Amino acid sequence: MAVTTFFRAEALTTETKTNVVRQAWDRLVKVPGGKRVFSHLIGRLAPYTGTMGAIVQELGKGYAKVTLADRKAVRNHLSCVHAVALANLVELTGNIALAYSLPDDARFIVAGMNLDYIKKARGLITGECEIPPIESSMRNEYDVPVTLKDSSGEVVVKGTLRTLVGPKRPS
């Protein structure tokens, strides 16, 4: 798949024969500005998530690190990052860690989310997720843990995505 096809949101659908999230990251991370381009493409795939402006910093088998800049668009009336923006960052971080790790014939959907807001979030917020490898597209439920930290390294949110993994539909 040529890099130019990544600019079409439909090229990133979950019903392709390959793991396009892994394929896109592995190609784009090697070029200048590739992380931003990849993050923009994920935002086109999930438009609401794209409004946050989060940037995928690291992505690999079972791991993701995503940053969210503290700016007016994601703040609440208490001058801290809004709870819904934090929930969105938890979901984005966990979803891309899982998506990158899936076998080519698997897809997923979040079935639930648990969030513990530990303290007000201010400054650059970094989401991290680490999960064991997913070896099969067999229908199964996984807990995907995500931690959000502020720029001083203090935990602001602990989240868990309850995610269903299963085989892609035949095309």
Q: What CATH number is attached to the domain comprising 58?
A: 3.10.129.10
The conformation of residue 81, written as its DSSP 8-state character, comes to B
What is the number of structural domains in the chain?
Answer: 1
pLDDT per position as a tens digit, 101-134: 999 999 999 999 999 999 999 999 999 999 998 9
Which pLDDT value is given to residue 171?
59
d(C-alpha 29, C-alpha 146), whole Å: 22
Q: Which residues, including other chains, have CB under 8 Å from residue 33's CB and lie 6 or more apart?
A: none
The 10 Å Cβ neighbour count of residue 89 is 27
pLDDT beneath 70: ranges in the chain: 1-16, 171
Which pLDDT value is given to residue 16?
67
d(C-alpha 104, C-alpha 33), whole Å: 26
* Containing structural domain, residue 69: 3-167
Residue with tokens 């989060």: 54
The pTM of the whole model exceeds 0.75 = yes
d(C-alpha 46, C-alpha 56), whole Å: 14
Report the SS3 class of residue 134: coil
